[in-house]
Amino acid sequence: MGERGTASGERETFPLFRAPLAATRSPCEVMKTRTLQHLDAICLALPEATVEYSGSHATFRVRKKVFAYFLDNHHGDGIVSVCTKTRLGENLDLSREQPAKFYLPAYIGPRGWVGLRLDRPPVDWGEVTEFVRSSYRAVAPKMLAELISFERFGFAMNYGLNRVRFTSPLPVGDQVRMRARVDAVEPRGDGANVVATLTFERAGGDQPVCVAEFLIRLHA
C-alpha cells in the first residue's frame, strides 16, 4: 500500500499498481509470428482450406489433404520456411540451383516437397503465393482447384436453386448454422458456373433441417 496527502491534511492509503511489463518477445519471435500470420492469410483464402497448429509449426489442408506446411526449426535445422508440393523433380532442381532460397525438408523432401525459406529477407510473398497455389491445385479436388482461377471475378449472379429438401423440423427459436460445399465448377466464356450444396443444421440436432443445391454464375 502507498500513502498520499489530502486537501484537509490527512493521510490516506491507496493500493500500489505496477505498470504492466513490456513484452519480452525477441525480434526473431515477432518476425516468426508476423510471417505465420501472412502465410495464414494466403493459405486460408483458398477454398475449404483449414489449418492445424502444433507447437511452432502449422499444417494447411484441403479436404484432409496437406498442401502446405509452416516449419520453424524442423528437426533442429534452424530454418523458418513454407513447404509445398512440386512437380516431379522440380524440388531437386530448385534446391540445387537456388540453395540460398530453397532446400529439401527432412522426411518430406524425398516425397516431392520443397522448402522456401521465410527467414531470409526480403521475402517475395508473390512467389510464396504462387508456390502455395500450385501445391493446392496438386492435391485439391478438381472443382476446388478450378475455382481459385475465378477468385478475382467481377461479380457473381444468383442463379437460384436446383433442389431443396427439408429433412427435419426446425423449432422456433433454435440456433441455425450453414455449411457450404462446392460440388462443381464449369468454365463458361469469361466466367464460370458454380454448383454448391448448402446444408442447414440446428444446434443439438442429429441431422440437417434443410439441404439445398445452390447455383452461382461468376463473371470476370
Q: pLDDT above 90 covers what percent of the chain?
A: 55
Is residue 184 packed enough to be buried (19+ CB in 10 Å), middle (13-18) or exposed (0-12)? middle
- Residue-wise pLDDT for 158-204, tens only, equals 888 989 999 999 989 899 988 888 888 887 777 888 888 999 999 88
What is the average per-residue pLDDT within 112-126?
A: 95
pLDDT at 217: 85
Reduced to 3 states (helix: H, G, I; strand: E, B; else coil), residue 150 is helix
What is the average per-residue pLDDT within 77-97?
A: 95
Please check whether residue 43 is in contact with residue 53, taking contact to mean a CB–CB distance below 8 angstroms: no
CATH architecture for the domain at 27-140: Alpha-Beta Complex (3.90)
- Residue-wise pLDDT for 38-58, tens only, equals 999 999 989 889 999 998 999
Higher pLDDT, 28 or 196: 196
- Residue-wise pLDDT for 124-147, tens only, equals 999 999 999 999 999 998 878 877
Domain borders along the chain are: 27-140, 149-219
Confidence of residue 21 (pLDDT cuts 50, 70, 90): very low
- Which grid coordinates belong to 51? 489449418
Cα(200)–Cα(192) distance, rounded to whole angstroms? 25
Positive or negative, the CA dihedral 97, 102, 107, 110 is negative
Say what the pTM is.
0.63
As a whole number, the mean pLDDT across the chain is: 85
The angle, 0 to 180 degrees and rounded to 10, between the axes of the packed helices 27-43 and 125-139 is 50
Cα(135)–Cα(130) distance, rounded to whole angstroms? 9
Cα(88)–Cα(77) distance, rounded to whole angstroms? 24
| CB atoms inside a 10 Å sphere around CB 205 | 17
pLDDT at 28: 77
Class of domain 149-219: alpha beta
